[in-house]
Structure 1
């Protein structure tokens, strides 16, 4: 009997405990469940899923949340994503509405390299269930233009080009922590809420400010197209890089600027050495924090 107990103890300690692929926490880093996340998402006007672009757990959970919200909202769900730019809306809609094939979509739209593995499963759910899918991002050439020359360069664009972004002029508050961090990373400094444009060749600080403004034109455009396509009673589920909605900034700031009454839920994704022990720095990144093992395999 004593030998058997010893063997049982040895066996118990010879196996590692379960290794979950993710943990979910609330904003205070209290452990919570997917079921609670789903309930809150179904009650929200806008859900911003802040993903890590190459993380398979993010993409898998996005797919599950899409399916589950579709079942709960019963026709009152609209999808949107940073990964599709506004000038590709026709190509995306044609595919989702069954008028074209995947091969035609690939020819007609600028798809991310990881589209087939990471985003196509979600788009295919939209196609199957007839869920509207909105291309919310500003065309990258215009964000690049802002990065090089500042927001004033957008004034020279055609009416068609301007229809593919947030209405101008755009106010950018460079004192917001997210934009401020970008400025500090690039050796620049913020100049407050403004629409003034400095000479991009006059110093590193001006180049850094324009880089932050390019981020802001993306955030503002995504918020604009979410609001433009959201109807009463619907939930908009939007997929974007975590930085665009982390700390309730970026897209969230522009959504609240346009609709202060909007009920917004955010999820922020982080990779941690030990998902069971999130550090204080992960507190309040979003309404929910998705903690994933740092050594999780990547999709690219």
Structure 2
């Protein structure tokens, strides 16, 4: 009898009743809930959802949060996304306002390859609910220009182009943790050789980080340009752009220190019940997802 009970206990431990697709944690890695996320998001001015671009749980939760915030805010919701560049704002607005079809949007805007599966449901929801949707990201050709030639290259673009970017000059602090980590990931620099261990020139490494910074600065600028008192702007961006309260958050704070900002950082873990210490303080809410979760691409 005792052996039977022991076996049943072992089976119960080995085969859990549920296989949760995600867990939420506080910055200190205490378990928390979606309900608390929604409550705090409703009170925030800006919510930065740091996603993993190919993760279906991220995209599903983004959609759920958009729907629940729309209900909670009673129309005082604005959406924004890294996935739309500022020079595509007219095409995005025309679609959300019902002036064009999805086929026309696909020809008029530079949509990400995973738009149909991952972002179209939210865009269609904005269209159905008449929710403003802001294209916040710098046009990629100008970010590419910075990565090749540095920040001064932006001084050479047209006046029309400059209206699609955060106001110049854009201040970039390469000592911020996110940019510093990016440069280290690319190999850092060898002061004696003048190159990184992987062969990249120091200026190239720094310029790549500067290109990321101008994206962050531009997203922050257009978030603020489209935010009115009493509204919540829910913004979708790659996790890198807002984790560790860095990136977009830093630029928002430079302009409006008192802004109520809520951040969410997504991580994939072997065991979502056991987040490691390296997941501490990534964001106001840490979204843990099983590492073997299927991918959208």
Shorter-chain TM-score tier = over 0.9
- Is residue 250 of structure 2 the alignment partner of residue 289 of structure 1? no
Aligned to 2:83: 83
Aligned to 1:194: none
Aligned to 1:244: 241
State how far apart, in whole Å, the 2-side matches of 1:139 and 1:76 are: 27
Alpha-carbon spacing, 1:296–1:187, altered in 2? closer, same or farther (3 Å): same
1:221 to 218, 223, 231: 218
- Is residue 271 of structure 2 the alignment partner of residue 274 of structure 1? yes
Aligned to 2:108: 108
State how far apart, in whole Å, the 2-side matches of 1:236 and 1:264 are: 10
Q: CA deviation at 1:223?
A: 0.1
Q: CA deviation at 1:61?
A: 0.2
Aligned to 2:180: 180
Q: CA deviation at 1:2?
A: 8.4
State how far apart, in whole Å, the 2-side matches of 1:264 and 1:228 are: 15
Alpha-carbon spacing, 1:157–1:42, altered in 2? closer, same or farther (3 Å): same
Q: CA deviation at 1:184?
A: 1.4
State how far apart, in whole Å, the 2-side matches of 1:15 and 1:34 are: 25
Secondary structure in 1 matching 2:53: coil
Q: CA deviation at 1:11?
A: 6.2
Is the contact made by 1:183 and 1:205 (CA closer than 8 Å) also made in structure 2? no
The alignment of Structure 1 onto Structure 2 pairs a total of residues equal to 287
Is the contact made by 1:187 and 1:204 (CA closer than 8 Å) also made in structure 2? no
Aligned to 1:198: none
Task: With the length of structure 2 as denominator, give the TM-score of the two structures.
Answer: 0.93
Alpha-carbon spacing, 1:250–1:4, altered in 2? closer, same or farther (3 Å): closer
Q: CA deviation at 1:17?
A: 3.9
1:1-300 correspondence to structure 2 within 5 Å? 12=12, 15-188=15-188, 204-300=201-297
Is the contact made by 1:270 and 1:289 (CA closer than 8 Å) also made in structure 2? yes
Secondary structure in 2 matching 1:50: strand
State how far apart, in whole Å, the 2-side matches of 1:280 and 1:6 are: 33
Unaligned runs of 5+ residues in structure 2 are 190-199
Is the contact made by 1:270 and 1:292 (CA closer than 8 Å) also made in structure 2? yes
Q: CA deviation at 1:275?
A: 0.4
Residue by residue over 1:135-157, the C-alpha shift from the partner in whole angstroms, topping out at 9 and shown as x without a partner, is 00000000000000001011011
Q: CA deviation at 1:204?
A: 1.2
Task: With the length of structure 1 as denominator, give the TM-score of the two structures.
Answer: 0.92
Is the contact made by 1:188 and 1:206 (CA closer than 8 Å) also made in structure 2? no
Secondary structure in 2 matching 1:285: coil
Alpha-carbon spacing, 1:3–1:287, altered in 2? closer, same or farther (3 Å): closer
State how far apart, in whole Å, the 2-side matches of 1:45 and 1:6 are: 53
